[in-house]
Structures are given as structure tokens and as C-alpha cells.
Chains A and B, each alone.
Chain A
Amino acid sequence: MTSVLAPLPVLLPLLGAAAALLLAHHPRAQRTLSLVVLTAVVAVSVVLLFTADAEGATAVSVGGWPVPLGIVLVVDRLSALMLVVASTVALGVLLFAVGQGAADRDEDTPLSIFHPTFLVLVAGVSNAFLAGDLFNLYVGFEILLMASYVLLTLGGTAPRIRGGITYVIVSLTSSLLFLAAIGLVYAATGTVNMADLAVELGELPEGTQVLLQSMLLIAFGIKAAVFPLSAWLPDSYPTAPAPVTAVFAGLLTKVGVYAIIRTQTLLFPGGALDDLLMWAALATMVIGILGAVAQTDLRRLLSFTLVSHIGYMVFGIALGTAAGLAGAIFYVAHHIAIQTTLFLVAGLVERQGGTTSIDRLGGLARRSPLLAVLFFVPAMNLAGIPPLSGFIGKLGLLQAGVAEGSALAYTLVAGGVVTSLLTLVAIARVWTRAFWRPPTQAPIEDTAAAAAADAGPSGGGTGPGSADGAGELTARQVAWRRHTRVATAADPDIAPAAGAVRALRPLPRTMVAATAALVTVTVALTGVAGFLYGLSDRAAQDLVERTPYVESVFDAPTAEEAE
């Protein structure tokens, strides 16, 4: 049955994207279509996961070519688990986007383009998870990157183009490096099939192996945003629309992490670069979170925590033991859900407060208790407060580090604890300022005024009440006040005129429901943590043994045999 189901997570979204493009002028049909397609992908992935868990890895030769030559899709526990988590999160984000599109008909997010591109993105992610050869992995990356370029620059406003340019150039460089590495791998071994490579690469001279491994690691490290290759991420992610940032934060970097796991376990099990990876993990964790503490914008802050927590996964991979890998896999699953949810909540905060700058927000806890709960639960989960899944994942990783026992591993364990604490600090800052601060320091009600303020001094004079008193202020003062503003009644420059304070817009129900559903998923991860950790353990065992994967590929029935 797997042979029929395995290509579906790639095929369904691709066909769905084509159909969605045809339905561009029928928004309702388009919405329904993409929701149905993604639901189907989730269902297929769940079936694949349970089959893979019960029967072990299975490989499918697409097109019926004999194994080392043709394209192989491999479903093992790791890839099936990644598929399930990724498609579930993507479905939640799509629901959120539908709610947002229905709520404001925003021309910043042209939905007729959004749906097909989003489906293509999901197809690319699935293809990368299922790919059984390096070149197909490259194609998967390119599909998802191409879609992400479009999504990141949706609407083509100036900040998005600026952030998009950085993102596109960095991604291009990493893709070219990946392609060059594939060329060199092929020159050295004569194959790009990963199962074949698992055998062939081991016979190469050690220097060649290290060269190929480091080229692949750098290429994937850029995509996974491992320090020092992470600087592009906090620059480009926050400019995109909320659902796009959310799905990027959840999925794209994790595809890079997945690729690193595969390279490190299947292709280069010798652990030649493990120490280097350890240091990279430490730097990613600590520097990332220090960046987060320095930020005052919620989305940028979350982008930095995203970078920082990639370090935990790299730590688990660098340990190279089954326990470390199990921790890393569990952490990837947990982090996909949690980071996506937090970015969606940031989108809701922006709608409610008119800004994501925590200097300007205030009093959200009283004004919107539901939003406060939706933020608080995943935020505590991110910081790793027991008994939530973040705590379990971190505990597993720290235990694996202690079990390893080397001085470097202990350093990493200490770094992990410090990072966890600093995450709590960063999150607590958001909580005290945006949510707990007295609501008399009302956040800006009028998003148009906030937008005008964001446009800088040149946009001055368009805010409410700016006509009076503006004459005695220099342009610089106006700019500064708009920059740091907390609108108060005593500040006639920027406070809305008395009586002009409008009631908060109620948040669109679909958006809240989608976010609440994802928050529930993150909490549910804690509920099924036992099962999930067991699954991660078995997946890690497969990875360390390597034989299940390799054997499944060479046993894959070709089309003629299947008939």
C-alpha cells in the first residue's frame, strides 16, 4: 500500500496547485480545494507514519527504473514523522490565511496567488522529506525555495522586496553549493542514490569524504540557519505576511535540519565533523538567543529564537548517538509546531494592537484575554517549562549530552540550559510589556496611523490629531515620538483625539480558531509525548543502524515486478 501512497504527499499538492491556479477567479472554490488537498495530505501522511512504524522503511521506485539509476522515494519513520508534523502545521496555517483573507481582503496578500504557491511549497517540502537520492532532494529544495521566494515577496511592497532580495541571494548561493557538491559526489562515486552512497562513500579516501561532507553541511547549514550561516533569517522573515512567516519558520529551516540528519547519519556516519558541529550548535544557541533578547519587535524576536533553537537540534545530531538523535527528532517535531504557532499569534497581536513592536504594545492581557492565553501557552512551551513538550525535548537532549560525557558535551549542556533561561527572559519581556503593562498606555488603535508612523518622518502629518501641536515640534522630534510612541491622553501629538478611541476590532473567528487549533496541537504533543518520544527513539535507532534504509531501497520492487 505504501507504494501507492508514498508519492501522494508530493503529487496531491502539485496537482492541487495547478487546479487552484485555474480557479483563480473563484476564491471560494480555490479555498475549499486547497483545504481539501491539504487535509488529504495529512491523512495520507498519518497512514504512512503508522505503516512505516509497523513495517519499517519502504522505498518506491518512481517510473519503474532499476534502483541505483531511477528516482526513489523512501518512507521511513523519520521522513513519515516529518511529513505528518509538516502537513498538519501547513493545514493550520492555511486555515489562518483563509481567515485573514476573508477578514480584510488585503491587497498585500493576493490570495489567488497565495493558494497555488502555498500548495507548491508543501509539495516541495514533502518531496525533500521523501527524496531517496541527492538530486531529488535538490529538486525538492528548489521547488520549496521557488515557492518561498514568491510567498515572501507577495504584494511586492518595498520592505518585502528588500527582505526578499537578501533571502533569494542567500538561498541561491546555498543551492549552487549543494549542486556543486552533488557534481563532486557523482564524480567520486558515480551515483547520487543515497542508499548506494551510504556504501560507496565509505570507500573513498578520508580527505575526499570530509570535503564532500563539509560542502553538503555548509549548503544545508545555510538553509537550516546554523550560526554563522544564520544572519539572513532575522532580516528576511519578519517582513512577510503573518501566515507566510509562520509556515517558513515552521518548515523551511527544519527541512535543512532534516537534510543534515540524513547526511550525518546515512552518508557520513564516521562523525568526522561532529566536534565542529558541536561548536556550531553552541554558537547558534547562545548567539541566537542573545539576539532575541536585544530585539524590541515581536516578529524579529521570534525569528531570533527560531535561530537559537535550531542549535538544540544540531546539538542532538552532533552527539551522533541514538539518544541524541532521538532528542533532535523529537525537538524538530515539537519546534515546527511551536514556532509556527507563535508566529501566528504574533500575527493576531499585530491585528489587535496595530503593531508588533513591544515598546508600543500594552495591556493586551486585559483587553484580549483569549489572545493572552494563546500566546502564553506556546511561549512557555518554547522556553521549556515543565510539563510541556519543550521541556521533554530539552531534557532528552541534555540527558543525551550528559550520557556522552565529554567536556565538550558538558559545555553544550550548560549552553543549552543558559539558552533555555534566556528564552524565558526574552519571552517574559514580551509578556510584561505587551500583555501585562497597564492598559492606560493604550496601544495604537488606528492601524492606518501606525502605518503612517512606520513610514517615518516623511509620513508625518497624517496621524490623527497631528495637526495640533505639530508646528512646535521639529521633524526629528515627530519622527522620534512616532518611533517610540505609546499613545497617551497627555500626548496630544500622537494620541487619538478624545472620543476617537474606537473599540477593538474583534479578531476574525477563523484566524483565532486556526491559532487555537495549533495551540491545542502543541499542548497535545505533550499528551502524546510518550508515543512520540518512542517513535523518535525507533527512528533514531534506524538512523544509527543505517541498514533498514539501505535495504529498503535495494529491495524496492520496480514497476514490472510489482505487476
Chain B
Amino acid sequence: MTPTVVLPVIIGGLYAAGVYLLLDRSLTRVLLGFLLLGNATNLLLLSAGGAAGLAPILGVSDPEDMNDPLPQALILTAIVITFGISAFVLAMIHRSWRLVRQEVVGTDEEDRRVAARKGTDADELDPDDLVPADRPAGHADGLRGADPDDVPADDIDLPAGTR
């Protein structure tokens, strides 16, 4: 009973391919990557049980030659879990396709908006420095008909309606 070199090589190959696919933006590739990684991990568990042996059934084989049954039990559990999650991810890919005709990892728009702000917090932006179209609603120039020169610059949230 000598350890085999085949398993580690396969595990390494599966991990490499799996990570490569997982890093893709397309969700189907991510799912395939996840499946490869799951299989690689299952093989890792299998090889954790030591060298190959006979079926661990009492009365069929001698306990001396038996394989370690515990990793196999763990693998069975892991396979079931992987199966369930794959089904869920597939359903999510399908839903994403139905909704937006896309199956890629989306961008966090709110995050992008916060990141796009230049240095200053929105609280400290002086609306008078902005082009009129970018000024927030409720800014002084929202007063229609008022002479812009008569309206003092305000960069605090003065209620325009009370003037």
C-alpha cells in the first residue's frame, strides 16, 4: 500500500482550472469553476484517508487491509452539499438572465457612486461650485423667477420652500 502520485497531480490540476474559472465574470464559468474546485476538494479528502485499501465492510475484507471509511462519509456529505448549492446557483443564473439578459457578476452601483466622489464628502460640496444641472434639488436657484443675484449663496440645507 504505497501512496499514489496520481491523486495529488489531479487535485492540483483541478484546483488550478477551478480557480481560473472562478475568477471569470461570467456566472456559468464561475459555476463550472466551483464544481471543479468541489471535486478537487473531495479528492483531497479522499487522499487524506491514506493509501488505497479494500472496502471497509466487516466480513468482506480483513480490517488490516481496509480503507479508512470516515473520509468517504465526509465526501458523501460534501457531494450532497455541492449538489444543492450548484442547483441554487444555476437557478440564480437563470433568474439573472431572465431579469437583465446578463449572467455576469454585477457592479455595485452605490459603491461606484461613493467612489466617484472627488475627495470631499457630499456634505461639504458647495453647490455654487457645481454646474447648475448638477446642483441638488432644493438649492437656492430652484426658486423660479427669483433674481439669482438676490439669493445668497447657501451651502447648508436651507429649505427653499420657506423663503
Interface residues of chain A, those whose CB is within 8 Å of chain B, are: 69, 135, 139, 142, 146, 149-150, 153, 156-158, 161-166, 168-169, 172-173, 176, 179-180, 182-184, 186-187, 192, 234-235, 238, 293-297, 300, 359, 429, 437-438, 440-441, 474, 476-477, 480-481, 484-494
Contacts and interface: CB of A to CB of B under 8 A. Distances in A.
B162 A135 contact: no
A488 B142 contact: yes
B16 interface: no
Given A186-B71, A294-B114, A491-B142, 5 more contacts: A158-B99, A172-B89, A182-B45, A297-B110, A490-B143
A479 to B, nearest CB: 10
Nearest to B38: A176
Contacts of B54: none
B89 A168 contact: yes
A161 B96 contact: yes
A164 B99 CA distance: 14
Nearest to A293: B121
B111 interface: yes
A187 B85 contact: no
A146 B100 contact: no
B17 interface: no
A238 B96 CA distance: 18
A402 B49 CA distance: 46
Given A182-B74, A488-B159, A165 B142 contact: no
Chain B CB within 10 Å, residue with most, of A176, A182, A438: A176
A153 B89 CA distance: 11
B48 A186 contact: yes
Contact of A300 (B22, B110, B123): B110
Interface string B74-108: 10011001001100110010011001100001101
Contacts of B89: 168, 172
Interface in B57-75: 70-71, 74
Given A179-B41, A484-B137, A488-B142, A235 B96 contact: no
A365 B104 CA distance: 42
Contacts of A486: 136-138, 157
B138 A359 contact: no
Contacts of B95: 153, 156, 161
B91 to A, nearest CB: 9
State the majority secondary structure of interface residues on A. helix
Which secondary structure dominates chain B's binding surface?
helix
Interface string B130-163: 0001101110001110000000000001011111
A69 B70 contact: yes
Given A440-B162, A441-B159, A135 B41 contact: no
A290 to B, nearest CB: 11
Given A168-B92, A437-B157, A183 B41 contact: yes
A248 B84 CA distance: 21
Contacts, number: 143
Contacts of A477: 133
Contacts of A440: 159, 161-162
Contact of B137 (A176, A180, A491): A491
Given A172-B34, A438-B159, A441-B159, A146 B85 contact: yes
B70 A493 contact: no
Contacts of B74: 135, 182, 186, 192
B16 to A, nearest CB: 14
Interface in B23-69: 27, 30, 34, 37-38, 41, 44-45, 47-49
Given A180-B44, A184-B48, A490-B142, A441 B157 contact: yes
B99 A490 contact: no
B78 A165 contact: no
9 contacts: A153-B92, A156-B95, A158-B100, A161-B92, A168-B88, A176-B38, A438-B159, A441-B157, A491-B138
Contacts of A492: 144
A138 B13 CA distance: 25
A173 B77 CA distance: 17
A188 B32 CA distance: 30
Given A69-B70, A172-B34, A235-B108, A295 B114 contact: yes
Contacts of B27: 165
Contacts of B137: 481, 484-488, 491, 493-494
B122 interface: yes
B134 A235 contact: no
A294 B41 contact: no
Contacts of B100: 158
Which 8 residue pairs of A and B lie closest in terms of their CB atoms, listed nearest first?
A187-B48, A162-B106, A484-B136, A489-B161, A481-B137, A440-B159, A183-B44, A490-B160
A142 B163 CA distance: 59
Contacts of A139: 77, 81
Contacts of B77: 135, 139
Nearest to A134: B74
B153 to A, nearest CB: 17
Nearest to B50: A187
